[in-house]
Structure 1
Amino acid sequence: MLSVSNLDVRYGQFRAVQGVSMNIDQGDIVSLIGANGAGKSTLLRAIAGALPIHSGRVSFKQHDVTTTSSSARVKQGLSLVPEGRRLFADMTVEENLLLGTTVKRSGDWSIERIFATFPNLVKRRHAKTGNLSGGEQQATAIGRALMSNPDCLILDEVSLGLSPLVVDQVYASIDSLKDAGTTILLVEQDLERAIRFSHRAICMLEGKIVLDKLTSDTNKEEITHAYFGLQQSKHQEASQ
């Protein structure tokens, strides 16, 4: 469904993403992990069309979308929930959700289904999002993306700044998307949750992919080593 080939993304002369290639099949749940500054959010934003690509290729549902706009990618079924939620604080929950229909595709997602998926939002329907808790804001941001009826949902730092209890509630709601067959690519800092929640874990280090494995075949130690670059360090020491 989603294919990235030899992708390079730069900020000036700095290569934030370096030659990244990966494939995600329909229905896959993939966690993108790595330390701060590894290039995870940059990669997600480039895939979604929110950042220009220096070189390489992005394909979605066998269509080359490398140079298409983010709105065109949404029309094809690719939606991003950005880091920091990016809600309009002076608008209500309902108004923010309706913004997700600006680019509308056929499907079953509606405001009422969003409220059924995130019941904590029901009583906050007419509240301004600037007055919501972090968990309520995250639910609203996810709901806004779902309103476009995506085939692939990209979630950037879904648990950032949330208490463990609220994170559990958010993930419980996301579980329903898994059951519906939605393809999900998410950034997750919690390694144990990434292993438990996903079919695959992709680990980035210094702008490159250093591990891409089924979580059922990968233990926590292997992921931790890739996360902190320990395997790379051992190889470098052995070659000296």
Structure 2
Amino acid sequence: MNGSVIQFQNTGRNFRGKWALRGVNATIAPGTICSVLGANGAGKSTLLRLLAGWLPVSEGRILFHESPMRPTAIHLRRQVMLLDDAGGPTRREVRSSVQELCDTIQNYQVDRPGIEKEVADWFEKLDIISVYKARPGEMSKGQAYKIAMISLFVTSPHVWLLDEPFSAGLDASGLRILDEQMAKHAALGGIVIFSSQWPEHARRLADWALVLHEGNLSWSAAPDTLPTVEETPPALQAVLQGLGPE
């Protein structure tokens, strides 16, 4: 796996005259699990979508392979995958989720012998074989997220982006497998970035943490050096408690 770093250089995104993210400067090294912490509306999803190339930056840039990430940089976007289904519908159609899995494998140009068996094995490990046996229709949010996880595991791009994965409806087994695969990917030199409102997730899983508050980067440090609520200025207390305005 390559050893490219991610660099945010004065990165910002403006929506209709309002800055959702501004002036972010940070570097994330290969082999890192990074948590992006912040309250609702802090800019976490915007940061991940910019890094995935889903949105263009309004100012500054994001460098990956020393090249700017942008929606038209297809060769870079294939090395990054964002799972953002946590905020989606409570239930999803089985057929659409499975089709998205197939489309993702094709879009990421993954064509190796035995990939069909890999997919089947993941369905078994994640205990979602039953979705095939059930009548066509809906499945739970957690089951849909597990199918999205399979697309991430079998394509295994260099950078994994997970938007609020701990709110995605996963059961205990699914959470355990996700934790294991995140650690394995980072150990192989990949980068994992996940967002959360709770600093406990960062302290448990991450090597590095970025704290966003109202679109600004307020803290960048190893999770074990994050301040406690009592030590934190009032403006950041709500962020570290996972509270704050919508």
TM-score, structure 1 as length reference? 0.79
Instruction: Give the equivalent residue in structure 1 for 2:82.
Output: 80
Task: Write the deviation string for residues 110-141 of structure 1: whole angstroms up to 9, x where unpaired.
Answer: 35434544421233246689622222111112
- One of 148, 162, 175 as aligned partner of 2:169: 162
1:107/1:201 CA distance change after superposition, 3 Å: farther
Report how far residue 73 of structure 1 moved. 3.0
Instruction: Give the equivalent residue in structure 2 for 1:177.
Output: 182
Counterparts of 2:204 and 2:46, CA distance in 1: 24
Q: State percent identity of aligned pairs.
A: 21
Task: Determine if the alignment matches structure 1 residue 89 to structure 2 residue 96.
Answer: no
1:206/1:5 CA distance change after superposition, 3 Å: same
Where relative contact order (Cα < 8 A, 6+ residues apart) is larger, the structure is 2
Counterparts of 1:160 and 1:129, CA distance in 2: 25
1:119/1:69 CA distance change after superposition, 3 Å: same
TM-score, structure 2 as length reference? 0.78
Q: Contact 1:85 / 1:138 at 8 angstroms: preserved in 2?
A: no
Instruction: Give the equivalent residue in structure 2 for 1:235.
Output: none
Instruction: Give the equivalent residue in structure 1 for 2:146.
Output: 139
Counterparts of 2:233 and 2:210, CA distance in 1: 10
Task: Determine if the alignment matches structure 1 residue 60 to structure 2 residue 79.
Answer: no
Superposed structure 1 runs of 4+ greater than 6 Å apart:
none
| Partner SS state of residue 38, structure 1 | coil
Q: Contact 2:35 / 2:202 at 8 angstroms: preserved in 1?
A: yes
Instruction: Give the equivalent residue in structure 1 for 2:115.
Output: 110
Task: Write the deviation string for residues 33-63 of structure 1: whole angstroms up to 9, x where unpaired.
Answer: 1011101101111111111211111111222
Task: Write the deviation string for residues 212-234 of structure 1: whole angstroms up to 9, x where unpaired.
Answer: 11123335447x937952499xx
1:135/1:207 CA distance change after superposition, 3 Å: same
Instruction: Give the equivalent residue in structure 1 for 2:129.
Output: 122
Q: Contact 1:29 / 1:184 at 8 angstroms: preserved in 2?
A: yes
Stretch deviating more after TM superposition (42-51 or 170-179): 170-179
Counterparts of 2:136 and 2:118, CA distance in 1: 19
Report how far residue 149 of structure 1 moved. 2.8
Unaligned runs of 5+ in 1: 233-240
Q: 5 Å matches for 1:197-212?
A: 197-212=205-220
Instruction: Give the equivalent residue in structure 1 for 2:33.
Output: 29
Report how far residue 147 of structure 1 moved. 4.0
